[in-house]
Amino acid sequence: MAEEKSQAQVSGPRVQTPGSRSVVERKRGRRRNTTENFLERLPSEILIKILSYLDVASLFCLSYVSKLLHRFANDDIIWQQIYLSEFESKMWKLELSDDAGDHPPGRWKKMYFRAIDGQQTKMWKNYLKNINPYNGLPRQTEWVLRNMNVSWELRLCDHLGGKSTLVPSRVRFFESSVTVCWSRASFVQYHHISSIQLYGFRKESPKGPNVRKPPWRSLIFKINIKESPYRFFCKDRLIKVLCFPPGVLVGIWRADHKVAFIMVTLHFHKLVEKSLLGSPACPYAEPLDPPPVDVSDPEFGLHGYTLHFVLHNTSALLMSGQFHQLACHRFPIQRGLVELKVISSTSLSQHRSLSGCIKLPWKSDKLEGSIENCCIMTLTLLDVFHKPFWCVSSPISITMEASATPSDYSGDHFRMDHWSADGRVKMRLVWLKELKQFFLISLTIYVPVSKVNKYFSRHY
């Protein structure tokens, strides 16, 4: 009997260990594991329970991953818990008991964002109603940004999927813009960066010692390094600077090609909305509010412009001016551009002097310097109703003119140009050696006809 049992044990079915599996079986197992979606195998209750531990920003980003996660990240049960935990003390009892009826899907998510939007806009909407007649922008934009603790966060992504989040090193406010700079010693090399993302958020103190709720982040722009066109901006003995649209400066050490600093200048136009009302995945979309169409005026949209123009660097103001009644007739329109002559080279009374030299100071954690012949231009073009028509704040460089046109000044002539899809700016300057300063002797704005036609409902 013992021999029969031993023979039965030997001749019985063999139990395979993981190491004894054949090569074909292991390949099939790996192939099955790579194609199998374990999230779909989870019960709905468990998946909802897992997602209920995430914050609002994480749920919003997770909804873009797949259709399954999009469906569960927008589940009413999760958003009801989020809404009640945030606003339960402020709700009427009647509203809480009203949950028994049938409601369309997404009700609690809509209620949450409506309440959040109401909380935020009530704080600063009234302050932004007071418009400055000098530049057509809200007077208290800087005050609102400071009072609400608005800050800007830079997120760098590398080719391996790693992310690093940076807080600003310096923030400097000007008349109609703010310059934000990030600099630290642990910057990666430039060729490792795949994208640059800028977010706005409110810095809030935690409600308790153990509560650290991440703030809502509003995406302002995202730059893909390989896809975005850039231009070599300037350089000095230590760094070279690249410029990416919409005016992002990236300083790179010339010795080891590591990033020394990143600098962004943000225009005040809708800056509070862009910093608070966007989502972590999409920037804030400005609502379209075109002016009424004037049928009686055959050249409506070609006159009545006002320009507020500022030249500054990261530490000082170089020039500020306001120019009224800018106009263009139909016949000078060429190459699809409307030409607005702001400062004429033949009118000496319009020429403006620049205080100081044109240079762009920069600073890293250990070193600092200044790049010659560079500054920042902030332009606010207002329409006939004194509303912002074209707003831009971008770095700009100065170059010497090869063949200077005759003028009433004896000195070296220079030019500064800016161009983008929204318009072009041309400036001519002259350096007076006796006074040791620049004079702006010509300024011309070019606006695309397509932009004018779309805004004013015209057909020029």
The overall average pLDDT reported for the chain is 83
Q: Would the CA dihedral through 269, 270, 276, 280 be positive or negative?
A: negative
pLDDT tens across 196-242, in order? 999 999 887 655 444 456 788 999 999 999 888 888 888 888 999 99
- Predicted pLDDT of residue 379: 96
Could you tell me the domains of the chain?
39-127 (1.20.1280.50), 131-204+214-276 (no CATH), 305-456 (no CATH)
Q: Cα Rg for the chain, rounded, in angstroms?
A: 30
pLDDT (0 to 100) of residue 74: 84
pLDDT in the model for residue 351: 92
Q: Rounded to two decimals, what is the model's pTM? A: 0.77
Per DSSP bridges, beta strands 374-382 and 368-372 are unpaired
pLDDT digits (tens, 9 = 90+) for 338-348: 999 999 988 88
Sheet holding 218-224, edge to edge: 163-166, 150-158, 193-202, 218-224
Supply 288's token pair.
């379209």
Identity at 76, one-letter amino acid code: D
Dihedral Cα 204, 206, 211, 214, nearest 10 deg: 10
β-sheet bridge partners, residue 5: none
Least confident of 57-61, 136-140, 248-252: 57-61
C-alpha distances in Å from residue 294, one per residue of 9, 14, 298, 325 = 99, 91, 8, 18
Query: Is the pLDDT reported for residue 6 higher than 60?
Result: no
- What integer is the mean pLDDT of 2-23? 48
Q: CB neighbours (10 Å) of residue 262?
A: 24
Which segment of 39-48, 167-176, 307-316 scores lowest on mean pLDDT?
Answer: 39-48
Which of the four pLDDT bands, split at 50, 70 and 90, describes residue 294?
A: confident
